[in-house]
Structure 1
Amino acid sequence: MRLVPRGLRARITVSVALLVTVVVALAGLAIVTRIDHRDRTDVDRQLTARAEKVQQDADKLLEEGDHHSGDEGQDDYGGLLTGSQSLVRVISGRQVIAQRGETPRSALPVPERDGYATLQSDGQTWRSLTEPLNNTGDRVELLQDIHPIERRLADNIALVAAVTLLAAAVTAIGTWLITRLLLHPLQRLRAGALAISADVTGPALPAVDRPREVADLSHALNAMLDQLRTSMEATRRFTADAGHELRTPLTTLGMTLETLQRNPDLPEPQRTRALEAMRAEHRRITTLLTGLQSLARGDAHALPGRTPVDLTALLAEAVQHAARRHPTITYRLGPAAPVTIQGWPAGLRLAVDNLLDNAALHGRAEGNVDIGLSRQGATLRIAVSDDGPGIAPDQRQAMKERFTRGARTHAPGSGLGLALVEQQAQLHHGTLHLGQSPSGGLQAIVSLPSAPDPGLDVDDSGPTGAPVG
């Protein structure tokens, strides 16, 4: 048996109904207790006032002895009226020697000490006040039947219980109806979530404007869904690109291995050429996978937190490594003042390395590559120029696409270098522009904003990878 409801609507209804029940019950009991205390205090106050009157009329009370309330008219002893359910007694020792007022249904016990007391007798409850009677050594006792007060207390408690139950029922019904309206946006989100599939073009969750908390949840879930779909799309694209581009080199490797296996006595020159071809295909596969991995991470926005990056130092280090990779190329880094921006060091280094390798591989053999860093207003420009054949103006935009290579190029490469550079530029909210260098070759300019973008969302993994050319 489940004591706690499973549904949110039922839990809210039960919780609010219980809270209202407790609050109304406690408030009602506090009021009833206050009223009962006031009534009993009034009785004690009346007994005190009557005691003063009795002290004045004590001689007359002792002379007339017992007198019951069946007589008509006013009672001059203690200000008691006939039928007032009041009683006054004079006690000597343990005996009642005089009595006047309402006669109880059964004998009342004689009080053992002075002061206030509550007595029970045959279903009746009396409030008693006992005081010494002048200087006679006797005592006078005044009693008041408080059955009406106790009946009023019971009636008030019953009224509080009825009001509490009614308030709980009304609250439960009202809360059930109100929560239906309040939880309707959540029901819409639930229905939208059930309609979502693995299709990257599937519907998003419904946009909710009110209440604010549900609207924030809707926006957060849609943002998460967009990120998941972006990551899924990047994974699918990586798989498709890898399968398409790796088919040819893997086929070539398989054919070469089969040739070597079928011809164990292959002449040494032919064997050497076959092994060299296999090494070249292996390098191509490795470079291709590295580039695809970097592109996939960028597509999925798998980016680390932005940190200050010294572009001047980054360019100097990249040029030194590029010179070691391409010893026949002369790299010339122009002077530049220290410049720091907010970005991802690995991503910027990846873009610069690919620009330097692209200039070396597709520029003039034993040529020159000029690198410059400048500022124009709030924009930083990294320019890499070579003295090779360049790219025709009508082909420059197409060369930024993945797996695109020039029609006249014979240099090794995967066709991913400029695509990686443009992706990193866009991730840093910049651009890549291809133009003609002063020496007639290709000039690639990466423009980056010098001010950070506070609205960019990132996660914990970063874009890495070697230049792919």
Structure 2
Amino acid sequence: MRFVPRSLRSQITASVALLVVVVTGMAGFIVVERIDHRDRTDVDRQLVERADKVREDADKLISTGDQAATRGNDDYGGLLAGSQSLVRLVADGKVIAQRGEQPTVDIPVPTSDGFSTIEADGQSWRSLVEPVETVDDADGERLQLLQDLSPIEQRLTDNTGVVAVVAILATVVAGGSVWLVTRFILQPLERLRRGAQRIRPGDVQQQLPTVSRPREVADLSSSLNGMLGQLQTSMHATRRFTADAGHELRTPLTTIGMNLEVLRRYPDLPPAQRQEALDAMAVEHHRITTLLEGLQILARGDSRALPARTTVDLPALLTEAVRAARHRHPMTTYELAVASGGIPYVHGWPAGLRLALDNLLTNAALHGRRPHGHVEVSLTWDDSQVHLVVADDGPGIPPDQREAAMHRFTRGPRPQSQGSGLGLALVQQQAELHGGGVTLSDAPLGGLQVTLSVQVQEVSDGTDRDEGTPGHEPG
């Protein structure tokens, strides 16, 4: 809206000022109305009392005729003297006698009995008309008592003015006070605003100031800093993905380009050389595809762009992963052993855990003894963690190189495959996302033993498991 203040401080001040003027005005006018009602009620009561006194001696009113009451010397007990009141005796629509302060205006003759308010040339009178009996027993004689309402109306005007002045003063004082107080109340928000203005593109470490009170602003500060942390994590993951992809894709793309150039320049290459170039490009294409898939998964994990968690039956997931690995590597023997007892359940991402298992089983086959390797897979657990162990019979990794092997794009000193070097990095990331870790050690078979540990959610009795009784499963 056009007239709504733009700043929060101004909006709060305007709102409080409006509230104060409305409340003060309403309260004041209610009080003024009650005072005016009381004054008018008092006038009616006084008119009734005067009527009782005047009615006792109506004949005297007729005999005295039209006279102005002498102040302090009134046969009616001083009820009329100086009281801005008037008593009239009316018969046949005419005033036959009146007593009191003579009006400066013509007051209409009443046509009905009871109370009424008469307006005469801008002057208000309160009137009470009652029948009266006189000595001549004339029919239709009525007694009218009038009271000038000018003092009451003047008091109403004065009181209304006082209320208006008080409301205006209260509004000004309240508005000024709120304007000063909101400066301190909104200071935490102002700190957040200045902190937000200092954030620049590319500054991945910048955070908003930490605010402890009030609670609402503290919660806002915490939420915004959490959002900034997520954005910074996502930005870091995106930059790392871009850098890793640019670095690792350069070599395979160059190889594919060279082979394409050879095929373009020498269309009459012998079939054997032509097939060799095509096979090399197919290998590099597979390497690029595998590399991009791995980098995408790592980037999603780094940025925490993950689906909702669900309950995972890890023994069932491992059994299916071993079955698929046997199909992919028929020359490798997989031996699966699952501890007996309750079945561990993990609260996490089935796709991520399956990816980690597939990488471990594939690495064990690729880096184990060729062509007839042997891989031992076991699953154990305790009250806090599930331990999945994959051991192969290959050359293993020297102890001084195991920490480096967990880094991205790191391949062993004697690689036996064209892997991307992301396998163990993917496994470690999934382990950390599930509250665990990865340990490399010497395997009983002579090769490398990898232990993947994840946090346990719960352990069931295993009676409803579909994969059969846990135990030893040779392959």
**Aligned equivalents of 2:43, 2:71: Cα separation in 1:** 24
Residues 26-75 of structure 1 show CA distances to partners (whole Å, capped at 9, x for unaligned) of 11111111100000001001111111111212232233222212x24332
Q: Match of 1:424?
A: 430
Tell me the CA shift for residue 426 of structure 1.
0.4
The question of 1:35 aligning with 2:35 is answered yes
| Aligned pairs, number | 451
The question of 1:174 aligning with 2:177 is answered yes
**Aligned equivalents of 1:435, 1:134: Cα separation in 2:** 128
**Aligned equivalents of 1:172, 1:389: Cα separation in 2:** 81
Tell me the CA shift for residue 409 of structure 1.
2.2
The question of 1:448 aligning with 2:451 is answered no
The answer to whether the Cα contact below 8 Å between 2:80 and 2:86 also exists between their aligned partners in 1 is no
Unaligned runs of 5+ in 2: 459-475
The answer to whether the Cα contact below 8 Å between 1:74 and 1:81 also exists between their aligned partners in 2 is no
Unaligned runs of 5+ in 1: 453-469
Residues 148-183 of structure 1 show CA distances to partners (whole Å, capped at 9, x for unaligned) of 100000001111111111122222222222222222
Q: Match of 2:418?
A: 412
The AA in structure 2 aligned to 1:372 is: S
Residues 316-347 of structure 1 show CA distances to partners (whole Å, capped at 9, x for unaligned) of 11111111111111111213453322111111
The question of 1:215 aligning with 2:214 is answered no
Q: Match of 1:88?
A: 87
Q: Match of 1:120?
A: 119
Tell me the CA shift for residue 363 of structure 1.
1.1
SS in 1 for 2:212: coil
**Aligned equivalents of 1:372, 1:249: Cα separation in 2:** 37
Residues 193-250 of structure 1 show CA distances to partners (whole Å, capped at 9, x for unaligned) of 1111222434211111122111111111111111111111111111111111111111
Q: Match of 1:155?
A: 158
Q: Match of 1:105?
A: 104
The AA in structure 1 aligned to 2:451 is: I
Taking structure 2 as the reference length, the TM-score comes to 0.91
The answer to whether the Cα contact below 8 Å between 1:329 and 1:360 also exists between their aligned partners in 2 is yes
Tell me the CA shift for residue 79 of structure 1.
5.2
The AA in structure 1 aligned to 2:230 is: Q
**Aligned equivalents of 1:3, 1:33: Cα separation in 2:** 33
The question of 1:272 aligning with 2:278 is answered no
SS in 1 for 2:338: coil
The answer to whether the Cα contact below 8 Å between 2:345 and 2:457 also exists between their aligned partners in 1 is no
The AA in structure 1 aligned to 2:335 is: R
1:249-288 matches, cutoff 5 A: 249-288=252-291
Cα pair distance change 1:413/1:78, threshold 3 Å: same
**Aligned equivalents of 2:83, 2:201: Cα separation in 1:** 87
The answer to whether the Cα contact below 8 Å between 1:234 and 1:299 also exists between their aligned partners in 2 is yes
Q: Match of 1:192?
A: 195
Residues 102-156 of structure 1 show CA distances to partners (whole Å, capped at 9, x for unaligned) of 1111231110000011122344321110001147431111111111100000001
SS in 2 for 1:68: coil
Bigger mean CA offset, 169-178 vs 156-165: 169-178
The AA in structure 2 aligned to 1:14 is: A
Cα pair distance change 1:128/1:273, threshold 3 Å: same
Q: Match of 1:312?
A: 315
The AA in structure 2 aligned to 1:316 is: T
SS in 2 for 1:66: coil
The one of 204, 207, 213 equivalent to 1:204 is 207
Residues 248-301 of structure 1 show CA distances to partners (whole Å, capped at 9, x for unaligned) of 111111111111222222111111111111111111111111111111111111
SS in 2 for 1:67: coil
1:345-384 matches, cutoff 5 A: 345-365=350-370, 366-384=372-390
The AA in structure 1 aligned to 2:436 is: G
Percent identity, aligned pairs only, is: 60
The AA in structure 2 aligned to 1:210 is: R
**Aligned equivalents of 2:363, 2:256: Cα separation in 1:** 26
Q: Match of 2:129?
A: 130
The AA in structure 2 aligned to 1:347 is: G
The question of 1:230 aligning with 2:233 is answered yes
Bigger mean CA offset, 108-117 vs 258-267: 258-267
Q: Match of 1:465?
A: none
Residues 424-449 of structure 1 show CA distances to partners (whole Å, capped at 9, x for unaligned) of 10011111111122222211111111
Q: Match of 2:346?
A: 341
Q: Match of 1:141?
A: 144
Cα pair distance change 1:296/1:200, threshold 3 Å: farther
SS in 2 for 1:167: helix
Tell me the CA shift for residue 7 of structure 1.
2.0
The AA in structure 2 aligned to 1:82 is: A
SS in 2 for 1:209: coil
**Aligned equivalents of 1:331, 1:14: Cα separation in 2:** 77
Cα pair distance change 1:207/1:196, threshold 3 Å: same
The answer to whether the Cα contact below 8 Å between 1:57 and 1:78 also exists between their aligned partners in 2 is no
The answer to whether the Cα contact below 8 Å between 2:72 and 2:78 also exists between their aligned partners in 1 is no
**Aligned equivalents of 2:214, 2:402: Cα separation in 1:** 50
The AA in structure 2 aligned to 1:162 is: V
**Aligned equivalents of 1:393, 1:214: Cα separation in 2:** 51
The AA in structure 2 aligned to 1:109 is: P
Q: Match of 1:461?
A: none
Q: Match of 2:461?
A: none
The answer to whether the Cα contact below 8 Å between 1:53 and 1:79 also exists between their aligned partners in 2 is no
Taking structure 1 as the reference length, the TM-score comes to 0.93
Calculate the aligned-residue CA RMSD, in Å: 1.7
The question of 1:74 aligning with 2:73 is answered yes
SS in 1 for 2:343: coil
The answer to whether the Cα contact below 8 Å between 2:114 and 2:129 also exists between their aligned partners in 1 is yes
Tell me the CA shift for residue 377 of structure 1.
2.1
The answer to whether the Cα contact below 8 Å between 2:384 and 2:456 also exists between their aligned partners in 1 is yes
Tell me the CA shift for residue 81 of structure 1.
3.9
Cα pair distance change 1:410/1:34, threshold 3 Å: same
The question of 1:400 aligning with 2:403 is answered no
SS in 2 for 1:96: strand
The answer to whether the Cα contact below 8 Å between 2:322 and 2:361 also exists between their aligned partners in 1 is yes
The AA in structure 1 aligned to 2:8 is: L
